[in-house]
Amino acid sequence: MLQNDGIKAFYKGLSAGLLRQATYTTTRLGSFKVLTNKAVAANDGKPLPLYQKALCGLTAGAIGATVGSPADLSLIRMQADATLPAAQRRNYKNAFHALYRIVADEGVLALWKGAGPTVVRAMALNMGMLASYDQSVEFFKDSLGLGEASIVVGASAVSGFFASAFSLPFDYVKTQIQKMQPDASGKYPYTSSWDCAMKTLKSGGPLKFYTGFPVYCVRIAPHVMLTWIFLNQIQKLEESVGL
């Protein structure tokens, strides 16, 4: 990539990636906080069991993915452009140009193309990420007696791994659906997410869904870790100014 297209190739779709984070990530983290606060209040202030944290994570992931799906679609298509023949490239200039073109060419509802697997993938990722983080914080604090910095870093690392492991199969299907192109007769390779999953399972077996797991983990885990570390610092700042 560096040799053929230069350093800019690594940032293909950056505007869509930033828009996705501004919509999807803020919504899911905010939703998770609201949901867990309500669950703790309903539980008389006691710590939530793991299954309740998982349910809150699933719900927050679904809400966030629904809001962020248009930006996610733009990101997938902008990054996939380089792998397509020149005649099939969409040549979106930025995220907002991509959104405009999708609406103009395919209609408003096309912004949520692949939203089903996007939502399922987000639910799996958030269940792995959010529930495992809270559970790890309790374990490192109560069982191991670690300091605050060690707890945040350690729990963030655990959270990043589980987020990657839980979400990759769904991310694989989602990506295949969002980047697929019709053939000469106008027929798409997959008719639905289920069809894509079954064809993938038949052709490559279960491990096919974990294609590229090391790269995916390197992509997801640091992002999850930094998200938790910055969120922890932001919450401390809010507390210090009385918010």
Residue 35 pLDDT: 92
pTM over 0.75: no
Where does the chain have alpha helices with state H?
Answer: 2-5, 14-20, 26-42, 50-80, 95-106, 115-126, 132-138, 148-179, 193-204, 213-240
* Band of residue 67 on the pLDDT scale cut at 50, 70, 90: very high
229, with CB counted inside 10 A (0-12, 13-18, 19+), is middle
How far apart are alpha carbons 228 and 231 in whole angstroms? 5
Q: Which pLDDT band, with edges at 50, 70 and 90, does 76 fall under?
A: confident
**pLDDT tens profile 85-109:** 777 888 888 889 999 999 998 899 9
Give residue 163's identity as a one-letter amino acid code: A
User: How many Cα atoms sit within 13 Å of 44 on the Cβ side?
Assistant: 0
Q: What is the pLDDT of residues 120-144, one digit of tens each?
A: 888 888 888 888 888 898 889 888 8
Q: What pLDDT shows up at residue 108? A: 92
